[in-house]
Amino acid sequence: MKIIGRINTTLLSRMIFRNLLVAFFLVLTPCILFAQNYIRNTMVIDTPTAYTITRGTYQVSILGYDGGGMELKTFIGLHDNLFFGVSFDVQHAIGKEETEPNVPGVVAKLKFTDGWERFPISVAIGYDSFYIGEQGRVYRNETDPDAVNYSNNELNRMIYGPYFVITKPIYLLDDEQHINFGLRVPTQPNYVPADSSYFISLDVPMGQYFMIKMEGERIYYNFSRPEEWLFNMGFRYSYMNFGIELGLLFQNDEPVHRIIRIEFRDEF
């Protein structure tokens, strides 16, 4: 009986292993079939890439963040290497608290190159909003109204500024991933060169529809204040012209910040 029991256990283990192996290949097959369908986004989670949208194309996105805040961002491709648009942010857009709109900001990006066939690399400069939610705000300092780190305008609290970014595609497992590295400087509502910071990010497509994203941001140029650095993770699903993304933003000794972005892109 013990021998029969051992045989049954062995057969059951083999059946479970075989079923798991079949399930693995069923999940992996779509990734292999759609491996050459490269996805190039203009943003990772909260940091830009060097990619733009084509001429005559427009993109609209709605970002939901902590406290019921929402940011609407839209831009138009004026050239294959240039887009221009606006960003409008409202704190507490959803919920019971009083809404607090911010002054609309400019959104723009100019791509210089995509590199060469043997060494693809994209380089761009742009202007956009920084960070998400409370991390992307400056507030009036009641004790020192002239402090450079604060805004005296109650309607102008959202941080914007120029950035420089390099995107390098890499090719693993017959698919295209993207590594991004850049520097940005806050200039609106206050120019604070001491808060200039690096960002670095990676996106990994998982077939035609899914993508995993990771990034580090607000890494100050002199690598000071590590407790303020942000490390983010995101998951994106794209279908036809639509995309939906869930993100988690991590900061030392702070609650996890959950965000959601809905995006639509089309041509005129």
Least confident of 15-29, 88-102, 140-154: 15-29
Task: State whether 50 and 152 are in the same domain.
Answer: yes
Task: State whether 114 and 14 are in the same domain.
Answer: no
Task: State whether 5 and 50 are in the same domain.
Answer: no
Residue 251 has pLDDT above 70, yes or no: yes
Residue with tokens 């990006």: 109
Instruction: Check residue 8 and give its pLDDT.
Output: 53
Task: State whether 119 and 27 are in the same domain.
Answer: no
User: What is the length of the chain?
Assistant: 268
Instruction: Check residue 139 and give its pLDDT.
Output: 78
Task: State whether 219 and 106 are in the same domain.
Answer: yes
The string of pLDDT tens digits covering residues 58-68 is 999 999 998 89
Task: State whether 186 and 97 are in the same domain.
Answer: yes
Task: State whether 27 and 114 are in the same domain.
Answer: no
CATH number where 125 lies: 2.40.160.40
Task: State whether 26 and 156 are in the same domain.
Answer: no
Task: State whether 49 and 151 are in the same domain.
Answer: yes
Among residues of the chain, what percentage have pLDDT more than 70? 82
Instruction: Check residue 62 and give its pLDDT.
Output: 96
Q: Which domain holds residue 5?
A: 1-33
Residue 133 has pLDDT above 70, yes or no: yes
Within 8 A by CB and 6+ apart from 220, the residues are 194, 195, 196, 197, 198, 228, 229
Band (93; pLDDT cuts 50, 70, 90): very high
Task: State whether 22 and 46 are in the same domain.
Answer: no
Count up the domains in the chain and report the number: 2
pTM: predicted TM-score of the whole model, two decimal places: 0.81
DSSP letter, residue 255: P
Task: State whether 137 and 99 are in the same domain.
Answer: yes
